[in-house]
Amino acid sequence: MNILVIGSGGREHALCFKMSKSKKASKIYCAPGNGGTRDLAQNVDIASNDIDGLLRFAIDKDIDLTIVGPEEPLVLGIVDKFKENNLRIFGPDKKASKLEASKEFSKKFMEKYDIKTAKYKSFTDYDEAIKGVKNFSYPLVIKADGLCLGKGVIICENEEDTIATLKDILKEKIFGDQGQKVIIEEFIYGVEASLICLVSGNEIIAMESAKDYKKILEGDKGLNTGGIGAYSPSELFTDKLKEKIEKAVLEKISIGLKEEKLEYNGIIFIGFMIEEDDIEVLEFNVRFGDPETEVLLPRLESDLIDIFEKTIDNKIKESDLIWTDQACVTVVTSSRGYPKKCEKGFSITGLKDLSNSLMVFHNGSKYENGELVTNGGRVLSITSLGEDINSARENIYKEIHKIKFDGMYYRKDIAIY
Ligand code: AMP
Ligand code: GLY
């Protein structure tokens, strides 16, 4: 089969890595890919939001299956476009992508189908929002309705922060059109973890759990990032909790997808806040997480292409998913300055000195004049399986110092809990 993976991060590298192990893959392309994917796939110089360019390429190269990594092409309607042209593609259409692309849409969905989530109100007008704040206590959470590259959620501790944040979003338009509407939400206490699920029509099949680390600094301090480390499985997902999630969340999503005619064939990646056996849903994503995918896929023993095909054909069963008992950890190395602006183009060395048991998924790298250089805020996800989380983590921290690039940073407390 000819496979096309869309995207350029560690998630897409992990997808290429796992699919390259399938006997079904004759050729894998990655558009645009990065310095790591080019070892497993042929990189194609088409941006992941160039839907027409991707469509032309898929037709030209007789692509049998397309896997979409990031949300942007999904929200732009790549699945609708490919299907109109009889191309097989894994992901939600434009309509279902709103579960991720609009916070208000997903909150309304949760409310309507009785899925427990933080209480909220939405506003487009600044003065109304200021009045509305009175119904919440501090801390409270303000979210831009649209997609803001992981920057659209602001936790406000007091009135001063709240006024400034509402002004920034609704008056100064710091998020442009994505911030035309905000939702104000109660703050929920607990520990976060995610569950990555396959969606096959309206059937939801849980894959495995993962926890990512969002804050740039050790001890979960500092600015939010796209995710700077992760491990799988999350210890919070006991059998009892999984059973509860099945009934209180997955079955309800399934009913909701059917009733709202939002059925699709792809991923739903559910963010939870968990406190003992109390679970609330924070958000939905309609794609694989990054770096969650880097710790999920190494644990999968089944053929990933087979799973994608069965999901698309509505034939997937839970028993098709075979997981190793091993745990997996990833530590993301990032560039100086991340998550704010950072310089790129620094030479990366030391990868050849790592032992074979480590996997390195590239988040932001490219080749320039034959040399591997940094090409993003997040650069490399250093990943290891292990008998348990501790041994996987130790494998990484024992060797991560061998990798070098100017301004390299990583957290030293990933997977310590
Ligand atoms: P979201 O994009 O909605 O998942 O929000 C990004 C991050 O903000 C989450 O991973 C949480 O760490 C935090 N967050 C979002 N909503 C809440 C909430 N209602 N209470 C506490 N923290 C939240
Ligand atoms: N790591 C969080 C995300 O992919 O949305």
Q: What is the pLDDT of residues 329-373, one digit of tens each?
A: 999 999 999 999 999 999 999 999 999 999 999 999 999 999 999
pLDDT of 127 reads 97
Architecture in CATH for domain 2-91: 3-Layer(aba) Sandwich (3.40)
233 Cβ inside 6 Å of ligand 2? no
Q: Can you read off the two tokens belonging to residue 203?
A: 């059937």
285 Cβ inside 6 Å of ligand 2? yes
How far apart, in whole angstroms, are the C-alpha atoms of residue 165 and residue 156? 8
From 282, 285, 290, the mutation candidate for ligand 1 (largest count of ligand atoms within 8 A of CB) is 282
Mean pLDDT of the residues in the chain: 97
How far apart, in whole angstroms, are the C-alpha atoms of residue 205 and residue 226? 25
Q: What percent of the chain has pLDDT over 90?
A: 97
Its pTM stands at 0.96
Please tell me what DSSP assigns to residue 356: T
Closest to 22 measured CA to CA, from 6, 2, 37, 36: 2
With tokens 């002004």, the residue in question is: 167
Q: In what order do the strands lie in the sheet with 2-7?
A: 42-43, 27-32, 2-7, 65-68, 89-90
92 Cβ inside 6 Å of ligand 2? no
Kindly give the distance from the C-alpha atom of residue 372 to the centroid of ligand 1, in angstroms, as a whole number: 35
Closest to 74 measured CA to CA, from 284, 321, 387: 284
Ligand whose nearest atom lies closest to the CA of 272? 1
From 68, 211, 285, the mutation candidate for ligand 2 (largest count of ligand atoms within 8 A of CB) is 285
Mean pLDDT computed over 313-321? 97
pLDDT confidence tier of residue 277, bands split at 50, 70 and 90: confident
Kindly give the distance from the C-alpha atom of residue 216 to the centroid of ligand 2, in angstroms, as a whole number: 14
pLDDT of 224 reads 87
Contact by Cβ (8 Å): 280, 273: yes
Give the CA angle between residues 398, 399, 400 to the nearest 5°. 110
Mean pLDDT computed over 203-216? 96
Kindly give the distance from the C-alpha atom of residue 5 to the centroid of ligand 1, in angstroms, as a whole number: 29
Give the CA angle between residues 14, 15, 21 to the nearest 5°. 95
Closest to 295 measured CA to CA, from 356, 343, 234: 234
Kindly give the distance from the C-alpha atom of residue 182 to the centroid of ligand 1, in angstroms, as a whole number: 14
pLDDT of 84 reads 98
From 141, 212, 216, 290, the mutation candidate for ligand 1 (largest count of ligand atoms within 8 A of CB) is 141
69 Cβ inside 6 Å of ligand 2? no
Ligand whose nearest atom lies closest to the CA of 212? 2
Q: Can you read off the two tokens belonging to residue 375?
A: 């090409």
pLDDT confidence tier of residue 188, bands split at 50, 70 and 90: very high
Mean pLDDT computed over 221-233? 94
Which CATH topology does 120-186 take? Dna Ligase; domain 1 (3.30.1490)
pLDDT of 118 reads 97
Closest to 136 measured CA to CA, from 150, 119, 122, 153: 119
User: Which amino acid residue places its CA nearest to atom 1 of ligand 1?
Assistant: 283
pLDDT of 150 reads 77
CA 285 to ligand 2: nearest atom: 5
Give the CA angle between residues 184, 189, 190 to the nearest 5°. 135
CA 271 to ligand 1: nearest atom: 4
303 Cβ inside 6 Å of ligand 2? no
From 153, 191, 221, the mutation candidate for ligand 1 (largest count of ligand atoms within 8 A of CB) is 153
292 Cβ inside 6 Å of ligand 2? yes
pLDDT of 131 reads 96
Mean pLDDT computed over 61-82? 98
The answer to whether domain 327-402 has CATH 3.90.600.10 is yes
How far apart, in whole angstroms, are the C-alpha atoms of residue 76 and residue 208? 28
pLDDT of 40 reads 98
Mean pLDDT computed over 198-221? 96
User: Which amino acid residue places its CA nearest to atom 5 of ligand 2?
Assistant: 289
* Residue of 150 and 244 predicted with greater confidence: 244
Buried-state track 206-239, b at ≥16 Cβ within 10 A, e below 16: bbbbbbbbbbbeeeeeeebbbbbbbbbbbebbee
Kindly give the distance from the C-alpha atom of residue 363 to the centroid of ligand 2, in angstroms, as a whole number: 13
> β-strand 365-368 against 371-374: which pairing, if any?
antiparallel
The residues spanned by each domain of the chain are 2-91, 120-186, 327-402
pLDDT of 327 reads 98
Kindly give the distance from the C-alpha atom of residue 201 to the centroid of ligand 1, in angstroms, as a whole number: 28
Q: What is the pLDDT of residues 83-109, one digit of tens each?
A: 999 999 999 999 999 999 999 999 999
Same CATH topology for 2-91 and 327-402: the answer is: no
pLDDT for residue 417 is more than 80: no
pLDDT of 45 reads 98
Q: What percent of the chain has pLDDT over 70?
A: 100
pLDDT of 293 reads 98
CA 150 to ligand 1: nearest atom: 2
Mean pLDDT computed over 142-149? 93
How far apart, in whole angstroms, are the C-alpha atoms of residue 113 and residue 183? 19
pLDDT of 362 reads 98
Kindly give the distance from the C-alpha atom of residue 327 to the centroid of ligand 1, in angstroms, as a whole number: 25
How far apart, in whole angstroms, are the C-alpha atoms of residue 415 and residue 395? 12
Closest to 212 measured CA to CA, from 101, 289, 118, 298: 289
pLDDT confidence tier of residue 115, bands split at 50, 70 and 90: very high
